[in-house]
Amino acid sequence: MQVDYNERIPNNVSLADDRRLLRALERWQPAYLDWWRDLGPVGALQHDVYLRTAIGVDTDGWAHFDYVKMPDYRWGIFLAEPEPDRRINFGIHKGEPAWQELPGEYRAELRRLIVVQGDTEPASVEQQHRLGLTAPSLYDLRNLYQVNVEEGRHLWAMVYLLHAFFGRDGREEAEELLARHAGDADKPRTLEAFNEPTDDWLSFFMYTFFQDRDGKFQLCALAESGFDPLSRTCRFMLTEEAHHMFVGESGVMRIVQRTCEKMREHDTDDVGPHGAVPLALLQKWINLHFSICLDLFGAEESTNAANYYSMGLKGRYHETKIDDDHVLADRTFTVPAMEGGKVMSRETTALKAMNETLRDSYVEDSQRGLNRFNKMIRSFDIDFELRLPHRVFHRNIGAFAGIHAAPDGTLVDEATWRAKRDEWLPSAADRAFVEALMHPVIEPGAMAGWIAPPKRGIHGQPLDYRYVEFH
């Protein structure tokens, strides 16, 4: 499918054939650009950035690299190639043709799913608003900007669905996506994790490792949807989401590498005075971001999640690879729970456990990333292991909301929690230390002292390439 770049809004959905929809999106576009100028990357409107821009959605090559000023980036609407004779793969409509038009009986549920996903996209840009001022290298600055413009494009993806299929309600929801802002006291973002500030690069790399990984699993579940326009939209978004997770995982790995190098060079665990991030401090940031992201999957038992599955709107991770009947009417699933003041397990219906099923896949995938970090640590013959905290730790949604527990899952009283909190989560002093490391490095090929260089440049370019030109 070719992308039409002759239009004001690049697209591969034949916008030119639907003048009413095109005019509605063109009316929304100036508000989006105003939002970008106000809450996008601060001070970067005139930078020329070596960005990847979508020029097609086929597997032979869907991106073009060149210098672009971010306000001129060709945000557009791209759906993955249609699958011939695609069928719904799960739920009560299993085996029926996928819906090409909005199924009216599920209008409210689909609108809710699209709005919640759409709300996360501009939120992440807002959370990272000031990060460009303290980038550890031009390579990292360019990657930040690439993540930002693609999150903006993902917003466009959801806004297209709202405009195309939900009429006036959809147009109003699209306007609200620009009216809410991360951390705003009056109109915050829908999910609490997307109201947290991301003010330093350690937090950014943890964010792209953990929160963008949550995005991967949510998009994979929506890509299974029987509503084909949503499925195709999410399938293409996943090609871009992979880069965001790469930024996070490679960023954390480079921090781990530099820390280990400093530990060996100075023969000490206390590498803070030597300008590196101690492994114990990395563990605190892992504890924070992982626990926040566990909440993004929702409660362990959910009637809404059961309905989304049964209706064929949102599936499981790699739904078609799972060996069961994909209807689950009589299946059960074991979920964690609090009973009698103890962490227990209990059986519930597999349908009500959809959130937990997706969370299980997320935890397994996150652990694979930590395994790679720990392999790096072992390569330096250092006796330290980074760990994912227990699911009961620092939770605000679901069975463990408000429960006090140590990272290993041991339940503690409130007094102990208050006394130990700063040992388990970033303290004010920890944040001040990390903030003190954040100084911009803008010489081509140069790198901040707290992070190792990447193994290679971007799109075959050398590490000392001018990935961002300042004006």
Tell me if 400 sits within 8 A of 419, measured CB to CB: no
pLDDT at 4 over 80: no
What does the DSSP 8-state code read for residue 4?
B
- The per-residue pLDDT for 2 is 59
pLDDT for 442 equals: 96
Statement: residue 278 has pLDDT above 90: yes
pTM of the model: 0.96
- pLDDT value of residue 147: 97
State the DSSP code for 390: P
3-state secondary structure at position 334: strand
- In sequence order, the β-bridge partners of residue 219 are none
CB 118 within 8 A of CB 155: yes
Please give the full DSSP string across 65-130, using - where no structure is assigned: EEEEEGGG----B--PPPPTT-B--SSTTTTSBPBSS--GGGHHHHHHHHHHHHHHHHHHHHHTTT
Average confidence (pLDDT) over 82-94: 97
Mean per-residue pLDDT over the chain, rounded: 95
pLDDT tens per residue, range 152-161: 999 999 999 9
Residue 384 to residues 122, 376, 380, 401, 431: CA-CA distances in angstroms?
37, 11, 10, 30, 22
Does the domain formed by 15-469 have CATH 2.60.40.1930? Answer: no
What strand order describes the sheet that includes 48-54?
Answer: 63-69, 48-54, 468-469
- When mean pLDDT is compared across 41-55, 203-217, 258-272, the lowest value belongs to 41-55
So what's the pLDDT on residue 60? 57
Q: What digits encode the pLDDT tens for the residues 16-65?
A: 999 999 999 999 999 999 999 999 999 999 999 999 988 776 655 567 89
- Residue 82 pLDDT more than 60? yes
pLDDT of residue 5: 62
- The pLDDT value given to residue 8: 85
Max intra-chain CA distance, the chain: 68
Q: Where are the alpha helices (DSSP H) in 128-227?
A: 138-165, 167-179, 201-223
Q: Are 224 and 131 in contact, with CB atoms under 8 Å apart?
A: no
Whether the Cβ atoms of residue 241 and residue 124 lie closer than 8 Å to each other: no
Nearest to 280 by CA among 293, 288, 291, 270: 270
Q: Residue 256 is encoded by which pair of tokens?
A: 């781990």
State how far the alpha carbon of 239 is from the alpha carbons of 80, 161, 371, in Å.
Answer: 10, 19, 24
Distance CA 450, CA 349 (A): 48
Q: How confident is the model at residue 7 (pLDDT cuts 50, 70, 90)?
A: confident
pLDDT score recorded for residue 294: 97
- Please state, in angstroms and as integers, the Cα–Cα distance from residue 470 to each residue in 406, 447, 457, following that order: 46, 17, 19
More confident call, 5 vs 425 = 425
Residue 123 has pLDDT above 60, yes or no: yes
